[in-house]
Amino acid sequence: MNLIIDVGNSFVKLAVFELDRILDKKIMNAENFLENFKKFIEKHETIAKGIMSSVGNLTQADLLCIKKSCDMLVLNQDTPVPFSNLYATPKSLGIDRIALVCAAVHHYKNKNVLIIDAGTCITYDFVTSEAEYFGGGISPGLYLRYKALNNYTAKLPLLSPEVPKGVVGDSTKASIHSGVVFGILNEIEGNVLRYQDKYEDLTIILTGGDSEFLSKQLKSTIFVNSNFLLEGLNSILQYNLSGQLKN
């Protein structure tokens, strides 16, 4: 069994895979990580290999505990992956984006794929049917937009995301919800159309913490998969293990 660890900006996700199937998953805050991590590991004594992707911050004690849990691969820009990285600055490509592209290549062979990850930021990543990755886009995520309106103005309140009642907001709160949510929906729909104009037979994947919230309001044909990054990490681990076996 494989242990998959995704350390994000807001949460840490743990998953146990057997081949391509998720057997268990847990999402936790970075606070009290050690206690929760040890409890999770104790339930799965047969874990042999693992992979970790980290764009967030854990303590040295946390990282040491993770590395001792099993034979752990720490994903970085030099890790062998099953796609051609044609990004102009490959060393600056986020490892979370690398994992998402690997998931696309693994699940959608010989297809053009656009992956939209709606998390702290919204990232757009495009990989061709020939497994060539060129890049995509990055914009502020749902919560960042709400926080920005509160942080950079004197009187606008900090709100939690809410589905707008209509495009015309009849109060300050309603106007904020309309501006933020419809702004993101229009952005996603507009980007999808731009990619579809350029690339035929485009498969679109929506993932990330806000994917469920946004998917219910999108008109485009989009596959929603909240585990896509975890699946990508697992595919990278399998790819590297198969390479070791061949050698």
Residue 167, domain CATH: 3.30.420.40
Domain that holds residue 204: 84-232
Residue 63 shares a structural domain with residue 120: no
Q: Answer with the one of 19, 48, 74 that is the final residue of a domain.
A: 74
Active site residues: 96
Same domain, 90 and 199: yes
Whether 7 and 123 map to the same domain: the answer is: no
Residue burial 26-46, b: 16+ Cβ < 10 Å; e: rest: eebebeebeebbeebbeeeee
- For 8-32, the pLDDT digits (tens) are 877 889 999 998 999 999 998 877 7
| Residue 243 three-state SS | helix
Task: Read off the pLDDT of residues 44-53 as tens digits, 9 standing for 90 and up.
Answer: 878 889 999 9
Residue 243 falls inside a structural domain: no
Domain boundary among 43, 74, 105: 74
Q: Does 11 belong to an annotated binding site? A: yes
Q: What pLDDT shows up at residue 61? A: 85
* One domain, residues 165 and 104: yes
Cα separations in angstroms, 210 against 76, 140, 151, 222, 225: 25, 12, 21, 14, 11
- Single out the residue in 44, 74, 104 at which a domain terminates: 74
> Could you tell me the pTM of the whole model?
0.91
74 is in an annotated binding site: no
Q: Are residues 41 and 105 in the same domain?
A: no
On whether 38 is known to bind a ligand per the annotation, the reply is no
Per-residue tokens: 233: 């990490």
What pLDDT digit, counting tens, does each position of 120-168 carry? 899 999 999 999 999 999 999 999 999 999 999 999 999 999 999 999 9
Other CB atoms within a 10 A radius of the CB of residue 72 amount to: 16
Asked if residue 167 belongs to a known ligand binding site, the reply is no
Nearest-angstrom CA–CA distance, 101 and 135: 10
247 assigned to some structural domain: no
